[in-house]
Amino acid sequence: MVISWVYSVAMMIQHIVAEKEHRLKEVMKMMGLNNAVHWVAWFITGFVQLSISVTALTVILKYGRVLLHSDPFIIWLFLTIYAVATIMFCFLVSVIYSKAKLASACGGIIYFLSYVPYMYVAIREEVAHDKITAFEKCIASLMSTTAFGLGSKYFALYEVAGVGIQWRTISQSPVEGDDFNLGLSMMMLIIDAGVYGVLTWYIEAVHPGMYGLPRPWYFPLQRSYWSGSGRVETWDWPWCGGGAARLSVMEEDQACAMDQRRSGME
């Protein structure tokens, strides 16, 4: 499933970055679009697309006799949480790049490489027969694809045992001495989604790209940011004799402020 979603991830990243590359996002900001609404719209778009795949896959796994004994709602819930984490991963990658095609190519590669920690854990457990602690698995699960791989493993183990994943077994491991379980895997996916979201919010603010107005790295500590009040920043223009041009910036209208900044430079 990780491989099958590489194309979807790459396309979502490309569309988000293309909007930024063509300055459509800045135009919408100048028209009054709130940044949070912009991201919510992209989240809904991505979630609707992936939810179709999630629902179809749940039906195939359950009624195709692949996960015959597992609760179908748990299967759907696990895949849905993973879809949410994947969408947030796309958001995180999209704020790093400014070129759509480059972002699409690199995003797909990064998404696939984030599965490598799971392969490392699986080899150590199944080939070298090493004991991997729950803490180490949680650290590896900071990559959403790794958390998904670990969770899928417990589905397979319980199916082999003829029990399947049920609500009573979701917090237990069928392997003796194993402290990790499907419940922890799902919790790590939720944490991953939150971490990706926070990083997206922060990186976009301090590194908005060519057409945004960057905030200082310490902006979360500023009262003006959380209160929503305006702020005044000073820009030193070398051709103004070293004088300082005062530029008034409203918190939710950075695109307009950047336009004023370019006008002053001209």
Task: Average the pLDDT over 149-155 and give the result.
Answer: 93
Give me the helices (H) in the chain, please.
Answer: 6-21, 24-30, 35-63, 72-94, 100-113, 116-126, 134-140, 144-160, 182-206, 223-227, 254-265
Query: What is residue 141's predicted lDDT score, i.e. its pLDDT?
Result: 94
Give CA–CA dist 117/123, Å, rounded.
10
Task: Average the pLDDT over 52-66 and give the result.
Answer: 92
Pairing of strands 231-236, 244-249: antiparallel
Average pLDDT of the chain to the nearest whole number: 84
Query: What is residue 32's predicted lDDT score, i.e. its pLDDT?
Result: 80
Q: Is the dihedral of CA 62, 68, 70, 71 positive or negative?
A: positive
Give CA–CA dist 209/55, Å, rounded.
36
How far, in Å, are 49, 107, 117, 140, 214 from residue 7 at the CA level?
12, 10, 21, 24, 31
Query: In this predicted structure, which of 110-119, 123-132, 238-247 has the lowest mean pLDDT?
Result: 238-247
Give CA–CA dist 225/252, Å, rounded.
10
Structure confidence by residue, pLDDT tens digits, 227-266: 865 444 433 444 444 444 444 344 444 545 455 555 555 5
Higher pLDDT, 233 or 125: 125
For residue 213 the two structure tokens come to: 């107005």
Q: For residue 14, what are the contacts with CB-CB under 8 A and spacing of at least 6?
A: 100, 101, 103, 104, 107
Q: What global pTM score does this model have? A: 0.82
